[in-house]
Amino acid sequence: MDLPSGTDTVQDAQGRKRSAEDEPKPSKRPVVSISTWLSSSTGNADANALPAPVTCEEAYIEDRNSVFIGYAMRLTTASPTYIAALLDNLTHVIHPAIPITKLPSQFRHSAPSKRGSTHDMYAFRVLQLKPGRSGLRGPSDFGIEQGKEDDGETWGADKIMRVIRELGASDVLVVVSRWYGGQFLGPVRFEHITNAARAALQAYLMEEQINELKVKLRALDKKIAGARRIPYKENAYNGLKIEQAKRLLVARTKTFDIVLAQQDSIDKR
C-alpha cells in the first residue's frame, strides 16, 4: 500500500527539499538502459551462484516519482532460506548497481547501499516432490508449491500471483520492487505492479524458451559433427531470436538426416 504520511521522516523531507533546491545538472554520461544495467551488474557472477534476475525496459515503470521494476528468476525450491537468499542478492547486488537516473530524486544522493527499494513484493510457484514421495511414481508424486509476500504493499503480491497463473508459469519467482517517491498513487499502483510483473515474466519465459532451443541446436550440431567425423565446436548462438532458433532447428534436423544417410551410403561401399 502507499506509505502513510507519518512514514516520511524529517530526514526524508530534508532530502526532498535538497533535491528540489539543488537539482543536479544533466549528466553527460550515456543513458543506461535497464537491460544494459542488469547485464553489467550480473555479468561477472559465478556460474554456480544464484540465478540472475531477468528484467526488461517494459518492466521499468515510473509514475510521479515512484519507480517500479519487475524481475523474474528461476526457482527450483520453495525453501524460505533460498528465497531469502535471492531477495538478499537483489538488495545487496542488483539494486546498488541501478543507475541513479533510474531512481526517484531523493534516492540519487544516497550511497549505493542506501538505495534499496521501499517494497519488494513477490510471488512464486514451483513444482516440488510431495512429502514422503520419491518421484518414482510419476507426476502424481509432484505438486505445486506457491507463496507470496506483500512486503508492506498490501495486495501487491496478489497481483503478481495472478500474472504467474495467467501465463501458466512455474518454477519461477517474480518480484516487483517499488521505490516510493513521496506521493500517493492510489489504485493505479496495482496496474503498475501488474504490468511490471507481466513484462518481466514474459521476458523470462522467452529467455527460457530460447535457452531450450539452444540446447537442442547444440545437441544436433554435435550429432552432425559426429556423423561427418569432424571435431565438434560449440556455437554460443548469441543474440538468437525464437523464430530464428526454430528455423535453425528445422534446418539442422534436415542436415543431420542428410549427413547420416550419406555416411551410411559410404560405409556400405
Q: What is the pLDDT of residues 109-118, one digit of tens each?
A: 888 888 889 9
What percent of the chain is modeled with pLDDT above 70? 79
Residue 70, classed as helix, strand or coil, is strand
* Residue 262 pLDDT level (bands cut at 50, 70, 90): confident
**Side-chain-side CA neighbours of residue 164 (13 Å):** 29
d(CA 200, CA 172): 11
CB 230 within 8 A of CB 221: no
What percent of the chain is modeled with pLDDT above 90? 58
Between 6 and 257, the more confident residue is: 257
Cell 505445486 sits at which residue? Answer: 144
CB 39 within 8 A of CB 33: no
Q: For 131-158, what is the mean pLDDT? A: 85
Number of H helices, E strands in the chain: 6, 5
Report the Cα 260 to chain-centroid distance in Å: 40
Q: pTM of the full predicted structure?
A: 0.75
C-alpha cell at 14: 530534508
Domain 47-200 of CATH type 3.30.230.30: yes
pLDDT score of 11 more than 70 = no
pLDDT score of 256 more than 60 = yes
**DSSP states along 21-57:** HSPPPPP-SPPPPHHHHHHHHHTTS-TTSSPPPB--G
Report the mean per-residue pLDDT for the chain: 82
Between 268 and 69, the more confident residue is: 69
Q: For 199-223, what is the mean pLDDT? A: 95
pLDDT score for 43: 45
pLDDT score for 23: 36
d(CA 38, CA 93): 10
Q: For 245-254, what is the mean pLDDT? A: 93
d(CA 76, CA 233): 31
pLDDT score for 15: 42
pLDDT score for 38: 57
Residue 78, CA distances (Å) to 1, 84, 167, 246 in order: 25, 10, 19, 33
Least confident among 62-71, 128-137, 228-237, 247-256 = 128-137
Q: Max CA-CA distance within the chain?
A: 89
d(CA 195, CA 201): 10
- The angle, 0 to 180 degrees and rounded to 10, between the axes of the packed helices 242-267 and 188-228 is 10
* Per-position b or e across 11-50, b if 16+ CB within 10 A of its CB: eeeebbeebeeeeeeeeeeeeeebeebbeebbeeeeeeeb
C-alpha cell at 44: 561477472
CB 186 within 8 A of CB 148: no
pLDDT score for 18: 37
* Residue 142 pLDDT level (bands cut at 50, 70, 90): confident
The ranges of the chain annotated as CATH 3.30.230.30 are 47-200
* Residue 226 pLDDT level (bands cut at 50, 70, 90): confident
d(CA 254, CA 249): 9
